[in-house]
Amino acid sequence: MPDESILREKARQAIRGGRLPIRRPDRTFGGQGSGVTCAIGGDEVKRDQLELEIEFNRHGVMPGLDRYHLHVRCFAAWEFERTKPGAPSDSVSL
């Protein structure tokens, strides 16, 4: 797993590139890894690792639910980047 500065840069890129929302998730679940790809690191969240799944309700023309799976450290990097001073506001459409 990359060091914190690399994870934070990947989290910034995911936010800026619209691959992860900037707003707080509507729901967060944690548990055993499910073998899916981490939305930040791009590596598999293996079954012997902890995983966080974040969910966002989507409203408007295409209502639905967006789900993202993250390693715990990747989630922490994303949370830090989305809440730090100077981060894009929630009102920005990503």
| Average confidence score pLDDT of the chain | 90
52 contact partners, CB below 8 Å, separation of at least 6? 28, 29, 30, 69, 70, 71, 72, 75
pLDDT at 62: 86
pLDDT at 56: 97
- Amino acid residing at 40: I
Q: Any idea how long the chain is?
A: 94
pLDDT at 91: 45
pLDDT in tens, the chain (94 residues): 568 999 999 999 999 999 999 999 999 999 999 999 999 989 999 999 999 999 999 988 889 999 999 999 999 999 999 998 876 665 444 4
For the chain, the domains span 4-83
SS (HEC) of 20-61: CCCCCCCEEEEEECCCCECCCCCCECCCCCEEEEEEEEECCC
Cα separation, 22 vs 10, whole angstroms: 14
This prediction's pTM: 0.85
Cα separation, 67 vs 82, whole angstroms: 17
Looking at domain 4-83, which CATH architecture does it have?
Answer: 2-Layer Sandwich (3.30)
